[in-house]
Amino acid sequence: MRRVGITGLGAVTPIGLDAPSTWAAAIAGESGIDFIQGFDTSPYPVRIAGEVKGFDPATVAPPKEGRRMERNVLLALGAAQEAWRDSGLENADPARTGVVVGSAIGGLPGIAEQHGVLRDRGPDRISPFFIPSVLVDSASGQIAISLELRGPNYAPVSACATGSHAIGEAAEIVKRGDADVVLAGGTESCIHPLILAGFCAMRGLVAEEEDPTLASRPFDATRAGFVMAEGACILVLEELEAARARGATVYAEVLGYGASNDAHHMAQPDPESLGVAEMMGAALARSGVEPERVGYINAHGTSTPLGDAAETRAIKTVFGEHARRLAVSSTKSVTGHCFGAAGAIESMMCALALHHQLLPPTINYRNPDPECDLDYVPNDARELSETGAELDIALSNAMGLGGHNGCVLLGRV
């Protein structure tokens, strides 16, 4: 079977408008979480989020076209265009190049806006661009149009596991020969009054009024909920031997992919963590990698009391005693939870950890929790050359509402 390398990276996140700045901020432990600036939050019990700051849509689409696109699509275009440039694949065969980019919430802000138009101004004032702009597959379609790519193209939707499933399925497309190159990842822009109100009603968000940068504290004993965020991340996946032949930078190899469902509850993790353990086990089995070879896990780690404990239990189930020797960190401590983009952002973090031999930290970790007792790379990045260790295999975990689980296993090239 063909092997798959990652040869291009693109990201637009609360901590950076491109992949290098996002990585640099994560390594420095610089939080992108702040008070929401996009609308008046005074009626809400939660007023913080990880917003993308300083993004100019005109840099990714002509203004007339950009006004017809939802923000999540524009963020995806920014990440995809950066990843495409980074890959150096401008002359790739369009018919052999695909796009698999999903979203959890997609164009719901646009739906809410057009519902207001219908209510206040009547049906004849609805935008003719409404339906195409809010579809979940709008991002994957617009990326294909922007880069003139005619290969396999679709948009997975699996809540917060979307980005991981997109990368895993894209790798399968390349492995089985249906395409030679696939742009894969996730995008989300859901910091909107209706969506904030919905998550407040679910009581899963943390309210941190004094210092928003302290709000997301995965695995800490005082963790109190997640922080909603927006962003996009796209990886270019390419048949590995072709990438090597053209002298491309290969950040990492996609070794395996696992998917499962908790089959337990739409919003709460399975206390036994069976589905999450089965997901990681499936990725290891598919790749033929022994658990003891995994050196780092970028955890789902949302900073919720139940979720972080359940993920820790799953890691112990799969890795046994080796779990104590693993490094585990959550970069949601700096980005917040980017929902459908999260798995892609965190897969990129794993690829760069392998490439640079450097582990991003879990910031705001101050109070150990007896239920979460692994090495969470607390507060400061870890330079592996200083410890004499080498990182060869890394795993990115993602879990979503509905019990959806997805993980991507990456190896150093």
Domain limits, the chain: 4-245, 254-411
**Alpha helix locations (H) across 190-328?**
193-202, 240-245, 274-287, 305-319
Residue 214 DSSP class: G
The catalytic residue among 337, 338, 355, 407 is 337
pLDDT digits (tens, 9 = 90+) for 351-389: 999 999 999 999 999 999 999 999 999 999 999 987 778
The domain 254-411 is classified under which CATH number: 3.20.20.70, 3.40.50.1100, 3.40.47.10, 3.40.50.2000? Answer: 3.40.47.10
If one counts every other C-beta atom within 10 angstroms of the C-beta of residue 364, the result is 25
Q: What is the pLDDT of residue 174?
A: 98
Q: For all residues of the chain together, what is the average pLDDT? A: 97
* Active-site residue, from 160, 190, 233, 350: 160
The secondary structure of residue 39, as a DSSP letter, is: S
Q: What is the pTM (predicted TM-score) of this model?
A: 0.97
Q: Which residues pair with 253 in a beta bridge?
A: 5, 411
The verdict on whether 160 is a catalytic residue reads yes
CATH number for the 4-245 domain, one of 3.40.50.880, 3.60.40.10, 3.40.630.10, 3.40.47.10?
3.40.47.10
Residue 394 has pLDDT above 80, yes or no: yes
Which residue out of 165, 300, 355, 404 is catalytically annotated? 300
Active site residue 350: no
Q: Are 4-245 and 254-411 equal in CATH topology?
A: yes
Residues 6+ apart with CB under 8 A from 265: 403
Does the pLDDT of residue 165 top 90, yes or no?
A: yes
pLDDT at 151: 98
- Give percent above pLDDT 70 in the chain: 100
300 is catalytic: yes
pLDDT of residue 158: 98
